[in-house]
Amino acid sequence: MKLIVTGGAGFIGGNFVHYLLNKHKDYEVICLDKLTYAGNLESLKSVMSNQNFKFIRGDITDRDTIFSVFTQERPNIVVNFAAESHVDRSIEDPSIFLQTNVIGTQVLLDACRKHRIDRFHQVSTDEVYGDLPLDRPDLFFTEETPIHTSSPYSASKAAADLLVQAYHRTYGLPITISRCSNNYGPYHFPEKLIPLMIANALNDKPLPVYGKGENIRDWLYVEDHCSAIDLILHKGTVGEIYNIGGHNERTNLEVVQTIIRELGKGKIQFVKDRAGHDLRYAINPNKIHKELNWLPATNFDEGIKKTIQWYLDNRFWWESIISGEYQNYYEKMYGNR
């Protein structure tokens, strides 16, 4: 079995590469990644010498490169994590989000069609469903919830999902799609809520909470996302969409206060809200539970402790990121907020 994992030098893709190589010792895994600001080969250092692993630097929007990689490698399965993934960046400049998330997905679908791939799996997000009101805790996203996006990021991911479904219906391409809630864990780029707050607290910088901090996210430990995708690849039904989430809802304020409590330091600063800020995400994971017997193994209280410990043990990983170009990003996004 040979898999191409696109975006495997990023947060979730990197964790998935490690997961696959640990779980399926006989699988060949190829990570194909452009190495944007979010891609980091440090995250793959420990598998670089693994005989079953290969890294290829490539851009999923570059048709020639993608087609020649497919011709050379002849993969059975493609799992597409490659994306521009940060909502705030999409609000600043949507263009690259459309290029990578929509056109890049189309290029991969065309290559999969040509090479009669066994499975194309699209890693999507709960953000395609829009948001839920804060005063209706009884409501959850199911696979039937209509697509209703808020940010340029979520719109680009929804467009990609529709294309993936179109390639299944029109060309019979064997696809699956998963829509997951907010992930956290090792190798999470420090522009996202949890690693940003950990890094700032450790560096005695203010913790910038948007608006009143009352928005709710449904947190999933990244390894549980990996196990769900692995199950979908092996046991999922072609053409189906699976929601992935673990009923771990927290307000942003609760998340930040937990980090402060665990670290014993950190000072909150309320800052201007995100434009179009989604209020609440909450997944109903019944389908993947009932059909594939998937359940998350790690609850939030346990996962946040493990995550904080990882950032304490791996300071070099995130300190080398925040000492570079990241400083310009931080100044631009938070300087006058």
For the CB of residue 170, give the shortest distance to ligand DAU in the complex, in Å.
26
321 Cβ contact list (under 8 Å, min separation 6): 40, 189, 190
Q: Which is nearer to ligand NAD, 4 or 209 (CB)?
A: 4
- As beta bridge partners, residue 241 has 177
Minimum distance from residue 48 beta carbon to ligand DAU (Å): 26
Residue 189 touches which of ligand NAD, ligand DAU, none (Cβ within 5-8 Å per kind): ligand NAD
Among 121, 157, 168, 280, binds ligand NAD (CB under 6 A): 157
> Within positions 40 to 59, which residues make up the interface with ligand NAD, using CB under 6 A?
59
Q: Is 150 in the site for ligand NAD (CB under 6 A)?
A: no
Q: CB of residue 186 vs ligand NAD: minimum separation in angstroms?
A: 11
Partner from ligand DAU, ligand NAD, none binding residue 69, C-beta < 5-8 Å depending on class = none
- Residue 81 lies near ligand NAD (rule: CB under 6 A): yes
Residue 243 identity (one-letter amino acid): N
Interface residue list for ligand DAU (CB under 6 A): 85-87, 125-127, 181-182, 192-193, 196, 208-210, 215, 217, 252, 274, 281
Q: Where are the beta strands (DSSP E) in 34-94?
A: 53-57, 77-80
Q: Residue 51 or 133: which CB sits closer to ligand DAU?
A: 133
Q: Is 7 in the site for ligand NAD (CB under 6 A)?
A: yes
User: Helices (H) and strands (E) in the chain — how many of each?
Assistant: 13, 13
Tokens for 241, please give them.
């969409």
Distance CA(38)–CA(56), nearest Å, equals: 16
What is the Cα–Cα distance from 128 to 38, expressed in whole angstroms?
Answer: 21
Cα-based angle 35, 220, 101 (whole degrees, multiple of 5): 35
223 is catalytic: no
- Measured from the CB atom, the residue of 11 and 242 that comes closer to ligand NAD is 11
As to burial, measured by CB atoms within 10 angstroms (0-12 exposed, 13-18 middle, 19+ buried), residue 301 is exposed
* Residue from 229, 230, 222 nearest 304 by CA: 222
Q: Which residues are catalytic?
A: 126-127, 153
